[in-house]
Structure 1
């Protein structure tokens, strides 16, 4: 929650900097200003700058249904009877996951008051009940027609200068965020003169950057960009309001795997599971079944007041032939719906179809690969979390937990659909506990590649509900240029640790872990000692930065007893430094729990 006192101090310092009027020679020399270098605080260019730096309140519309303000973190909501604390933008995904868990239920969200909101000009107000919030929300202009400009952003820092009526410099300030720049303008009078220290950089909505060198170029850049993107000022957190053009680009960008099919309220998923659909810009769609047979059809799309409709027509695939409403789009997934109990869910599979096998071979050979997740029927299998694959030349692969290592063979091929396949063989003993084999009666199995990235790979097994996700782990330098992974690892390896807190959602279960002492050793081996018996058992630990840029701490403490609760890929939260002892002595982790739709918290403290 933002602090009003801090804001007041900031404002006083800001005004002091702008009203400082000592001799001119105390300021750095500037080129002589002219009409194009200085602008008036009430000019059209200044107003464009203010609109571009406005606080965008649309990111939390799933909560407040208002784009002209946003709720200050942290706050608490109750979603379908489940209470959740929202600490960051990322936590809003939890609400969407609960809403999406059941497609045909009625979703209810209640905000726990009081809350504080921040408006587009960064002013704040305390709201005590839903009536007050609704009254303010009704004043917002939705649908992208409000004043704020979201399709272009400033790249900071930016230095600005102020002038008196005679165009003599009176002050300068460097701003480092939209908030600081907007507050800078808020403190000016309409006839105040300012200038910007050009050149400055702007970033467009698609990530491209441009440099501007004058006020005229700046105004033109903002004007040209302000209508260039969908600002998504609505309640639809998953951006289901794609324009027709964006939808057509999305559906033709990659092939799509069929994840789920329901026709006339009867599930047809087993029949069509992982059929591969490929849409082309000329309106053709081809479908490959699991044995490689190709079925041809056509597709078209249109937009209505209720969203986008996708029309599919096949001579053979009658269960797909229908005009479908696109009722949800999320990263890598499209959900289609039609009245009468009809549903199709498609999953994007970019780069895994008709690719050269050497592409995947070279990626696997580059670094080690750590098991992030193994799932069966949606349930995670924790036994292999943090185990490490090393793929070597001549088809040799090892799987290790730091203590035991299994050696096997690997090969990359393609199946009848043209999808990349990773074939693995481990040992001759079908009961080998270190094998990654879902079928205990077979030692040979194939994993179909379903998502290909340079630092993250996702596989599944044809005809089963098994899923495997691997995270690339190279040495610390290229994988972690900031060095924070190495810093966390070094701190954890320096001494022994106890669990100072473990909360399963809102339930404090710290006492269950009081008998244990944890040591984080070489080769990613975690030693867990029970104080009552002195017995030590081995586990696995890792620190890495994942493909989304998040710092993660993998802990595999076993799959029996209370220690199974600690086996997870935890989000790194913080690490505290003790100035007296000159060491890190506290580490906080958190992990979202699907079972109770809240965050688990784990805190280690050094002995």
Structure 2
């Protein structure tokens, strides 16, 4: 009888334990299944990562590139004057020297060795002008990639809630600066879900703080910065020329859920006569495309009759583009869900 009571107690405890952790799992799943939850590959996550990259444009007058910045301190020579750069404020000394005369050469010569810092916070030491020239060449080959997003700054600290779906573990952490947030996003695993602890404050290019309360509002702010900040916009690119030059593949498609793999193997060619040809395994389907401006927003539309291509037919908003990337989104009318369509150039 004593054994039965002990066994019954053990069994009850086991059942309660299972029920507790099962409920805990269900609560965690429910908490991390809302529209505010994002993953490593969610578009908003990639935008945030580009916002918090190492700022590299501040010293372009010295290094002539956005690819990296030169780490302080270092020395340059401008018009026979040596200038030591100890901080970003000292870059003004170079600008002032260049502005002194309109007839001098204004050549900025960097004293080597130097250490450079890339957008991802990695560093590299360059011992000579030859090393520097080689690196500039490498950077030029990557110049068509979507760059850092400027004119938005997060105010810290920021709380991040996270959930590991493999281990059913929910936790949170506080991020204190850009570099920490970049490393956190860069090291996210595929099975990890995160949610920003709103509200947060973002400072725009005009210096005014903006309170952000959800993912949709944050993404709209990013879109506004991409469209209106001179450090982000590239007025030299013509969208139609970029679109109709070469072949493209779908690198990301989200409609209710991610469906990128459905379009694996398709190549899209957008013609100047507003037709589009989608080819896969020797079979081609022809559709149409159009572009128009609606309430100041550029809208893009694809029209196919056959599955699965007809699922691409939406009024896509042009979010951003480069010579190698086309990014569109379609916010729903009720703001509960946003669809995304990304194309990447096929080399």
Q: The TM-score by the shorter chain falls in which range?
A: 0.5 to 0.7
8 Å contact 1:42–1:191 — kept in the other structure? no
TM superposition shift of 1:37: 2.8
Highest Rg: 1 or 2?
1
- Cα distance in 1 for partners of 2:210, 2:184 equals 23
1:59 and 2:58 correspond:
yes
Aligned to 2:245: none
SS in 2 for 1:39: coil
Normalising to structure 2: TM-score of the pair?
A: 0.54
- Give the alignment's Cα RMSD to 1 decimal: 3.1
SS in 1 for 2:33: coil
TM superposition shift of 1:159: 1.1
- Cα distance in 1 for partners of 2:169, 2:127 equals 46
8 Å contact 2:56–2:66 — kept in the other structure? yes
Q: How is 1:266-281 mapped onto 2 (pairs within 5 angstroms)?
A: none
Aligned to 1:225: 225
Aligned to 1:212: 212
- Cα distance in 1 for partners of 2:201, 2:189 equals 26
Residues 109, 232 of structure 1: alpha-carbon distance in 2 compared, 3 angstrom cutoff = farther
Aligned to 2:183: 183
Aligned to 1:72: 71
Aligned to 1:113: 112
Aligned to 2:46: 47
- Cα distance in 1 for partners of 2:133, 2:192 equals 37
Residues 132, 76 of structure 1: alpha-carbon distance in 2 compared, 3 angstrom cutoff = same
SS in 1 for 2:48: helix
Aligned to 1:428: none
1:150 and 2:150 correspond:
yes
Structure 1, gaps ≥5 residues long:
1-22, 235-240, 242-607
TM superposition shift of 1:149: 0.5
- Cα distance in 1 for partners of 2:59, 2:86 equals 12
8 Å contact 2:161–2:196 — kept in the other structure? yes
- Cα distance in 2 for partners of 1:56, 1:208 equals 20
8 Å contact 2:149–2:226 — kept in the other structure? yes
Q: Deviations over 1:413-433 (max 9, x none)?
A: xxxxxxxxxxxxxxxxxxxxx
SS in 1 for 2:132: helix
- Cα distance in 1 for partners of 2:128, 2:146 equals 25
8 Å contact 2:56–2:68 — kept in the other structure? yes
Aligned to 1:137: 136
Q: Deviations over 1:582-607 (max 9, x none)?
A: xxxxxxxxxxxxxxxxxxxxxxxxxx
Q: Which has the higher contact order (CA 8 A, sep 6+)?
A: 2
8 Å contact 1:33–1:167 — kept in the other structure? no
- Cα distance in 1 for partners of 2:71, 2:174 equals 26
Aligned to 1:101: 100
- Cα distance in 2 for partners of 1:221, 1:102 equals 41
- Cα distance in 2 for partners of 1:167, 1:214 equals 27
Residues 208, 142 of structure 1: alpha-carbon distance in 2 compared, 3 angstrom cutoff = farther
- Cα distance in 1 for partners of 2:147, 2:227 equals 11
Residues 144, 102 of structure 1: alpha-carbon distance in 2 compared, 3 angstrom cutoff = farther
SS in 1 for 2:84: strand
TM superposition shift of 1:69: 0.9
- Cα distance in 1 for partners of 2:203, 2:126 equals 34
8 Å contact 1:41–1:188 — kept in the other structure? yes
- Cα distance in 1 for partners of 2:103, 2:199 equals 53
Q: Deviations over 1:181-231 (max 9, x none)?
A: 111112222442111111111111112222222223222221232221111
8 Å contact 1:161–1:195 — kept in the other structure? yes
Residues 153, 171 of structure 1: alpha-carbon distance in 2 compared, 3 angstrom cutoff = same
TM superposition shift of 1:70: 0.5
8 Å contact 2:150–2:232 — kept in the other structure? no
- Cα distance in 2 for partners of 1:218, 1:171 equals 23
**Larger deviation, residues 71-80 vs 30-39:** 30-39
Whichever structure has more strand as a proportion of its residues is 1
TM superposition shift of 1:147: 1.8
- Cα distance in 2 for partners of 1:69, 1:128 equals 16
- Cα distance in 2 for partners of 1:82, 1:233 equals 35
8 Å contact 1:151–1:227 — kept in the other structure? no
- Cα distance in 2 for partners of 1:97, 1:195 equals 45
Q: How many residues align?
A: 210
SS in 1 for 2:179: helix
Aligned to 2:88: 89
SS in 1 for 2:31: coil
Aligned to 1:38: 37
8 Å contact 2:79–2:104 — kept in the other structure? no
TM superposition shift of 1:93: 1.0
Normalising to structure 1: TM-score of the pair?
A: 0.32
Structure 2, gaps ≥5 residues long:
1-20, 236-347
Aligned to 2:174: 174
